[in-house]
A and B are shown apart, each in its own frame.
Chain A
Amino acid sequence: MKTPAVELRGVWKNFGNTEIIRGIDLAIEKDTIHAMIGPNGAGKSTIYNLITGRYHVDRGQILLNGEEITNQTPHEINRKGISRSFQVTNIFHRMSVFENIRCGMLWHRNYKYSFWNFLGRQGELNRRTEEIMVRTGLASRRDVLAGMLSYSDQRALEIAITLASGADVIMLDEPTSGMSHGETEQTVELIRKVARDKTLVIVEHDMGVVFDLAHTISVLVYGEIIACDVPQRIRGDRAVQEAYLGTEVA
């Protein structure tokens, strides 16, 4: 069997005495789109935070391309190739849209802590930044301060910063929340395009988006995965229907 892009082995996480994540095993294949669904408070965002190093794992292991990344710092994990977006918009408010996206790109284009490269002269870097800006529909907002953007533009910027790194594993946390119908469609198209040669993990409440995009879906309830399969079989799964989906999708 191929090495999964992201793998969780028996992962547990407590906050105080409360068990939030209770023994998760999950393998996400390379170059697929995996959706994580479940009711509010099921632990979806917590899993994101554990994978990307924001929280420490209490027990278990997390692997990226077969290499252990358990409890490394967020920047180490990001450098190894996981880039994530946030459910609550997390951008650089007093910098322009262009600067925001470029910040997402700098490390991954090897600039590191350089204080001798003049940014204005980095043609390739700036060209790629413009490119991401066009793809995420932000080109007309190029020099607007991120803090002044409309909510949906901030959501688009959130995704743009995440994509800028060019990482192999992209994890989006409710990318379409707060977007209009039209904006959601655009974002789904963008995600589909981006995901072509990448592994994509997505947490999403819009079931239309989930069943449209995902190759595999895992269903999380009370910190446990109760089902993990292809969309057709998730739809027919009795346990999933009872616990979460109800009659909504079936």
Chain B
Amino acid sequence: MAGLVRRHGMWVAAFAVMLVLPWIFQTGFAITMLNQIGVLIVFSLAYNMLLGQGGMLSFGHALYFGIAGYFTAHFLNGVGEDWLPYFPVTLLPIFGGLIGLFFGIGIGFVSTRRAGTVFAMISLGFAEMATALTLILVVFFNGEEGIQTDRMVGPEPLGITFGPDIHVYYLISFWCLVATAAMYVLTRTPFGRMSNAVRDNPERVEFVGYSTHRIRWLAFALSSFFAGLAGALHALNFEHVGFETIGLEQSGLALFMVWIGGARNFVGPILGAILITYLNSNLSDITDAWYLYLGILFMVIVMFTQGGLSGLVFMHEPIWKTDYRLFGRMMAPYALGIGSTIIAAIGVIGMFEMIYFLSTRVTEETIAVLYWMEVDAASALPWIACAAITAPGVAACRRTYPPMANSYNEAIAAVKGRMAP
């Protein structure tokens, strides 16, 4: 038991967290969000098998997520209407995975012949085609309405009906953990390593005996399997599958989660899925400008980080592995830099919120609620106040960023100095 904890500590901890979470967050809202996070962790990890591990930028990976969702919903309805044999609901994600795998094998064979821009364009083409099909093949997709289903079918072993959301929570987190572990193990196999090799240098791969096409195809198919598994979980979670699950927006969501969390690190997509889903559920109620902020966050991360948020964390890895006391000298510069950023952001967000309020309001009302205060967006005062916060904030950023970078570089130099004999 002790050995198990030592060798697989992270997994044991993840399992424990998964069991405990619903005891901490008991509201229906929280459980719904946790369920969504679980689904999207699987989907974004699957997406990262292509992007981060295999170097393939896809704009259409939601195809396998969505189509598996539709099949799962139809299957459930078939069981419910007694024209299909019973299949345990607990194992339905495997069915979804196989659907994803099936389409991944077929479409992947065509699209992975080339990488880079050609691959990206083909993925876009298939995504558009699938979206068009949802409106044409009404029998299967039911147009914009999508498919309703009911997950409470068949026998109820041990009283597990999958009626309450908490039952679904445990179902999703179980499969989330299994799929995450499986995808992690895949990175440690000959296939996983050669997938990295194809990402780094496809040409050389051909000269060590591997077909780049076969490796990409395999990566694509396996990734589609996990995307399908996530799609089935999605169908079970919402008991509804709509055309939006299959299209560009859902694929873009995976790209955002992976890139913001970080594609270079295995945990990056997990981080991205948690963060984006959390912000999406909470911020979208508070502000209409949520998508604007998401876009800005995305741009800032693409421009200023290498490997997203997890990249920012792991660039400090050499420091904590060598001597965590090196962080001592970094505290003050980091606090100042982060503080200035927050001040500047408060001012900018204030102005965005007023612009949004003025341009989207239906009445002549000009009193907006900004930072828990009632302000008149038509008067000059709040604008001057926001500008008065933004300007010094930005100025402070310009002053505090260089010392922040310096303190990091000094710590890294100290680490290198200690490594040298």
Contact = CB atoms under 8 A, between A and B. Distances in A.
Interface of A: 52-53, 73-75, 78-79, 83-84, 86, 90-95, 99, 102-104, 106-108, 111-120, 161, 164-165
Nearest to A167: B209
B190 A90 contact: no
A74 B207 contact: yes
A92 B215 contact: no
A90 B193 contact: no
Interface stretch (B138-146, B152-160, B197-205): B197-205
Given A115-B189, A115-B192, A92 B200 contact: yes
B197 to A, nearest CB: 5
Contacts of B205: 75, 103
A76 to B, nearest CB: 9
20 contacts: A73-B211, A74-B207, A75-B210, A79-B209, A92-B197, A92-B204, A94-B200, A99-B193, A103-B205, A103-B208, A104-B208, A106-B190, A106-B193, A107-B210, A108-B209, A114-B191, A115-B189, A117-B190, A119-B188, A161-B204
Interface residues of B, number: 27
B200 A95 contact: yes
A107 B211 CA distance: 10
B206 A73 contact: yes
Contacts of B41: none
Residue picked from A90, A92, A99, most chain B C-beta under 10 Å: A92
Contacts, number: 96
A176 to B, nearest CB: 20
Given A103-B193, A120-B188, 8 more contacts: A75-B211, A92-B201, A103-B197, A103-B205, A113-B191, A115-B218, A115-B222, A165-B208
A91 B197 CA distance: 9
A30 B204 CA distance: 26
B196 interface: yes
A83 B204 CA distance: 11
B388 to A, nearest CB: 46
Contacts of B214: 113
A83 to B, nearest CB: 7
Nearest to B192: A115
A101 to B, nearest CB: 10
Nearest to B219: A115
Given A75-B209, A107-B209, A165-B209, A90 B204 contact: yes
A206 to B, nearest CB: 24
Given A103-B197, A113-B215, A115-B186, A78 B207 contact: yes
B415 to A, nearest CB: 14
A103 B199 CA distance: 13
Nearest to A147: B200
A129 B196 CA distance: 18
Contact of B190 (A73, A74, A78, A113): A113
Contacts of A115: 186, 189-192, 218, 222
B176 interface: no
Contacts of A73: 206, 211
A114 B194 CA distance: 10
A132 to B, nearest CB: 13
B206 A75 contact: yes
Contacts of B211: 73, 75
A184 B207 CA distance: 24
Interface in B43-75: none
Nearest to A103: B197
Q: Choose among B191, B197, B204 the residue with the greatest number of A CB atoms under 10 Å from its CB.
A: B204
Q: Which 9 A-B pairs have the closest CB atoms?
A: A107-B209, A115-B191, A74-B206, A111-B190, A92-B200, A78-B209, A114-B190, A115-B189, A90-B204
Most buried by A among B188, B189, B215, B218: B189
Contacts of A102: 193
Contact of A93 (B191, B194, B201, B208): B201
B16 interface: no
Contacts of B191: 113-115
B1 interface: no
Contacts of B193: 95, 99, 102-103, 106, 119
B196 A113 contact: no
Nearest to B209: A107
A116 B204 contact: no
